[in-house]
Amino acid sequence: MSAVESAASRPALRYGERRTALLAAAVRVGAEQGLRNLTYRAVAREAGVAHGLVAHHFGTRDALLEEALQYSLAKSVPAISARPGSGDLDALFEGIVEMVQTLPHDLAFQYELILESRRRPELRPHVQSLYRTFEQALADELACGEMDLDQDFVHLIFAALDGLVFQQLSIADPERTDAALAHLRTLLALAGHRST
């Protein structure tokens, strides 16, 4: 079934649902076709609406990109812990493999943005915001467990997590990813003992 046939078979969206549907469509287009193909027409086709509706809701392509990033982050950042705010190391990263399986478009969209920022420096603030958001969520979760780790160590832990997520998204080896995440939690536990 083509994208046009798929869009035609979808029920009409109510006004309040349109913006969210457009953001989800933008994430899917960016993930599947790359950011260079993230156009009003492509998003509208994916969402099954007129392309003027995309312009109406977002005004500019940059605004669409920024809001699509925030939409994808709102869905993926909470997966840092299975029990947010608990500081429980056993819960940390527990849902990562499942997140990659359930949110592949959101994560692929984020990686597409990261890679495109190498070619288009004007996108780097978006990438910096993405990394700051994830690292701050990780730092906050660690602080809930009374782990006082410096920013460089949090950056290191997030870089390891980011690499594991990328590999899981690319090659889907959940057992290996889970084993590596267990070692990452052990490292954090050891660092936590040293910081107290």
Buried b (16+ CB within 10 A) or exposed e, 85-101: eebebebbbbbbbebbe
Q: Residue 161: pLDDT band by 50, 70, 90 thresholds? A: very high
Asked if pLDDT for residue 162 goes beyond 90, the answer is: yes
Asked if pLDDT for residue 193 goes beyond 70, the answer is: no
Q: pLDDT tens-digit profile of 20-74?
A: 999 999 999 999 999 999 999 999 999 999 989 999 999 999 999 999 999 999 9
Q: Residue 16: pLDDT band by 50, 70, 90 thresholds? A: low
Asked if pLDDT for residue 12 goes beyond 90, the answer is: no
Mean predicted confidence (pLDDT) in 167-179? 95
Whole-number Cα distances in Å, 111 to 27, 63, 126, 162, 163: 11, 18, 12, 10, 11
Mean predicted confidence (pLDDT) in 104-116? 96
Distance CA(90)–CA(77), nearest Å, equals 17
Domains in the chain with CATH codes = 1-59 (1.10.10), 61-195 (1.10.357)
Q: Which of 195, 82, 67 is nearest to 143 (CA)?
A: 195
pLDDT at 166: 97
Q: Residue 191: pLDDT band by 50, 70, 90 thresholds? A: confident
Higher pLDDT, 195 or 85: 85
pLDDT at 77: 94
Q: How many CB atoms lie within 10 A of CB 115?
A: 13
Angle at 97 between CA 128 and CA 138, to 5 degrees: 40
pLDDT at 13: 57
